[in-house]
Chains A and B, each alone.
Chain A
Amino acid sequence: MPASLLIAWKDLRQRFRDRSAIMLAVVVPLALAAIFSMIFGPASTPTAFEYALVDEDRSPVSRSFDEDVLAYLEDEGIATVDEMEEAEARTAVSDGDLDAAFLIPPGFADRVQSRAPARLEVVGSVDAATATDVARSVASSYVQGLNAVRVAVAGVAHQGGSLTEGELQEVAQQTVAAAPPVTIEDISADAHVLDLKTYFAAGMAVFFLLFTVQFGVSSLIEERSDGTLSRLLAAPVRRSSILVGKLLTSVALGVVSLTVLVLGTSLLLGASWGNPVGVGLLVVSGVLAATGIASVVASLAKTAEQAGSWQAVVAVSLGLLGGAFFPVQQSGQLMATVSLVTPHAWFMRGLGTLAGGGEALAVLPAVGALLLIAAVTGAVASTRLGRIVEP
C-alpha cells in the first residue's frame, strides 16, 4: 500500500477513536439541524392567509374584486376569504382571528365610474404583518387596474364623444379583460428554494464540514509538535506522500461526514436533498473546496491550537456569509453576490437547483465553482504546506 494511504488510514483510525471528531463531524450538525428544523419547521409549511371581505357596495365592480381577485387567491391556496359585516370583520381582525379584511364602502362603484376618489380599505392584524402586506398589495394592485380602466375609458370618451354609455362600458370591459388587475408571480421555481428541513440540514452539514476536514491537514502540525513527524521523515517515505496522506484524510473525513449527514437528515428529519448523483457531485466538490481552505489556514498557523482557532473563525465567517444559517439572498443582491466567494453558497445553490427539480448535470455550475475554489486554495496552500513537513 502506498505510504500516503498508510498515513491516511492511520489518521482515520486515530480520528474515529477520538470522539470529539465524530461529535463535530456528525452528531453536532445533525443535532443542530434537528433543533433548527423543530424551531423553524412550522414556518416552512405555509398556511393560507385568512381574510374577510366586507362588501357594502354590492356593485359589479365590487363583485369583480371578489370574483376575479380574491377568488384567484383562494384557488391558489394563498388565502381564504369569508364575507361578513364590517363590525364582525373589524372585531375578528382586532382579536387576531383574521389576518386582514377588505372593506368596500357603499357607493364605491359610483365613485369609480364618476371619476371621484374611491376608497378600498384594508384592515390588518398587528400580529399578521406579512398577511396584511399581501392584502394591501392585492388591494393596491386592483385599484391600479381600475385606474387603468378609467384612463382608457376617459381617453376613448375624449376622442370619440359620440359613444353611447353602453359602448363606453364595453370599452371598459375590454380594458379590464386585457389588463388583469392582479398578477401573482411564483418566484419559487427561479429562486430554487430549499424547504427548511433540507436547508438547515445542508447548512449545518456544510458549516461543520470546515471543522471536519481540518482534522486531516491540521494533524500535520500536531505530528510536528508531537515529534512523530521526525520519525516519519526518517522513514523511507517521501515528504509529498506525507502531505498527500494528510489531504486524503481530510477528504475521507469530509466525504464520510457529509454522506452520513445526508442519509441521517433524510431518514431522521425528512430532508429531501434531491438527485443522489447531483448530491454526490456536490459533496465531493464541496469537500475538496473545504479541504483547500483548511489547508491554507493550516499552512499559515504555527501550532495546532492556532490552526484550530483560525479555522473556527474562518468557518463561522464563511458560514454566515455563505448562507449556512440564513438565506443571504434576503440581505439583498450585494450580499448574495459577495456570498459566492464561499463554498457554502455554491453548495447551497447546487442543492437548490436539485430541489427545483434539476437533474444531476444541473449542478455542474456549482460543482465547477467549488472545484475552482479548491484549485485556488490548493495552489495557495501548496506553496506553504511544504514548510510544515520539516522537523
Chain B
Amino acid sequence: MATDGDVMLRCTDLRKSYGPLLAVDGVSFEIRTGETYGLLGPNGAGKTTLISMVAGVLEGDDGAVALDGLRMDPSALDAKALIGYVPQDVALYPDLTARENLRFFASLYKLGRQEARARVAEVLDVVGLSERADDQVKTYSGGMKRRLNIGAGLIHRPRLLILDEPTVGVDPQSRNAILASIEALSAEGMAVLYTTHYMEEAERLCDRVGIVDLGHLIAEGPPRALTAELGQAEHIVMAVEGDLAAAVAAVDALAVAGRTTGDAGVLDVLVTDAESALPLVMEAATSSGAAIRSVNVQEPDLEVVFLHLTGKRLRD
C-alpha cells in the first residue's frame, strides 16, 4: 500500500444500493499521484455509481472517500475543487460556444478572469478545438463534443481527473486523440480514474486496473500482473452454428477445458495448452452437432481475465 503522501484518492468499503439493487458492495481501492487507474467492467457493473460517489455527486450508503486527505461527500466543496469530472454522456450546453462553456465551468472553480481566459485557450488547444472555439457546441460532431467534454473537466487543472467511459460512441480518430490526451495528462503527474469496458483502452492507459462485476471489486492490479495470474492459459474462440449450448456442454466436459462459455454463436474456452487441446475441443464441438465456422487462439488479455473471473464477457 502506498504511503498517505502518495495517495491521491482512497476509497474505503463503499456501498450504495437503489432499493433492493446493491449497485456497489464494499469496494475499496486507492489511486496514487500520477497514476492512471482503470475501473473495468461490463455495463451495469456499478462503475458509474462508484465514480459518482468518488466525485461527490452521489452520497454513498456507507464507506468513505478521501481525496488528498480531504473527506469527499456531496457538500465537500474543498475536495470537489481538486477533481475534474467527465461524465459518461456529453455534459455541455449546446447553445453556448466551446469558449463560453469552458469559461462558465472555469468560473464555477473560481478561476480569475485573466487566468480563466488563458486556461480556456490552453484547454481548447489540448482538445484540438481552437479553430472552432466560437462556434456553438450544437454544431459540433460527436467526436468534437466528446473532446470538449473532457476539456471541461480539465479547465481548473484538477489533481484527479475522473473519466466515465469517455470514448463511447466516438470515431477511431477522436478516440485516439482522447487516449493520447489522457496519456499526456498522466505524464504531467495528474491522477486519473478511468472507467471503460474496452479492455484495449485499459491495457494502453492504465497503470493498474480494478475489475468490477455486480458491484464488487473482484480483482485489482497492473494489467500484466492480472493476465500473468492466469498462468499459461490460452483462449480458444470458435464461431459455431447449431446448438451452442450443447457444444458448450460437450467442450466443458473435457478435462483440458477450463471455464467454457457460449454467447451469440461464439464459444470461448480457456485451456493451458491450445496446441494440444484444440483438436479435442473441435471434436467435442462437432460431435455435439455444431458446425465450426472459424477458430481463433488468443494470448491472455484483460478480456480473458474477466471471462476467467466472471464467466462473462466485458461487452455483455
Q: Could you tell me which A residues sit within 8 Å of B by CB distance? A: 1, 3, 6, 10, 13-14, 17-18, 226-228, 230-239, 390-391
Contact = CB atoms under 8 A, between A and B. Distances in A.
B58 A235 contact: no
A18 B95 CA distance: 8
Contacts of A227: 87-91
A264 to B, nearest CB: 25
Nearest to B56: A234
B74 interface: yes
B93 A14 contact: yes
B57 A228 contact: no
Contacts of B108: 3, 6, 232, 235-237
Contacts of B91: 226-228, 230-231
Interface string B85-110: 10111111101100010001101111
B87 A239 contact: no
Nearest to A241: B108
19 contacts: A10-B96, A10-B104, A14-B93, A14-B96, A226-B89, A226-B91, A227-B88, A227-B91, A228-B93, A231-B87, A231-B152, A233-B56, A234-B55, A234-B162, A236-B81, A236-B109, A237-B108, A239-B74, A391-B58
A237 B89 CA distance: 20
A68 B89 CA distance: 83
A14 B137 CA distance: 12
Summarize A's interface: helix, strand, loop or mixed.
Answer: helix
A239 B80 CA distance: 13
Interface of B is mostly: loop
A308 B107 CA distance: 30
A3 B108 CA distance: 6
Q: Which 9 residue pairs are nearest across A and B when measured between Cβ atoms?
A: A234-B85, A227-B91, A227-B89, A236-B77, A231-B91, A236-B80, A234-B55, A235-B108, A236-B81
A220 to B, nearest CB: 14
A239 B75 CA distance: 8
B290 to A, nearest CB: 44
Contacts of B80: 234-236
A226 B100 CA distance: 17
B187 to A, nearest CB: 24
A232 B105 CA distance: 8
